[in-house]
Amino acid sequence: KNEVEQSPQNLTAQEGEFITINCSYSVGISALHWLQQHPGGGIVSLFMLSSGKKKHGRLIATINIQEKHSSLHITASHPRDSAVYICAVRSTDKLIFGTGTRLQVFP
């Protein structure tokens, strides 16, 4: 069993829909990261969370430390949100990555 599990693996949506991507982990962590990998391959950091909730524009990330679970929400999804979203947890001084959720948003 992977230490970081994401669901779903693949997700399709119509433009405007509310999107939720889930991440569960089984190790002790000091922080959790959400990353976005564009179709061209580049990876950018979206959020770093150690508790509670963060919001950037249409993106919202939450974490429940007791339940070892995090969610990434996208409100009013748009085709430009199409990407792979990766959850990674910080354990000691290294990141452990999930396998990613591939999101496609259609007009």
Binding positions for another protein, rule: CB under 8 A = 2, 4, 30-31, 33, 41-45, 48, 86, 88, 90, 93-100
Residue closer to another protein by CB (options 48, 60) is: 48
Least distance from C-beta 43 to another protein, angstroms? Answer: 4
Closest CA to 79 of 6, 9, 12: 12
Residue closer to another protein by CB (options 45, 75) is: 45
What residue type is 97 in one-letter code?
F
Least distance from C-beta 90 to another protein, angstroms? Answer: 6
Closest CA to 92 of 1, 27, 11: 27
> What is the C-alpha to C-alpha distance for residues 19 and 8, in angstroms, rounded to an integer?
11
> What is the C-alpha to C-alpha distance for residues 39 and 17, in angstroms, rounded to an integer?
20
Residue closer to another protein by CB (options 73, 102) is: 102
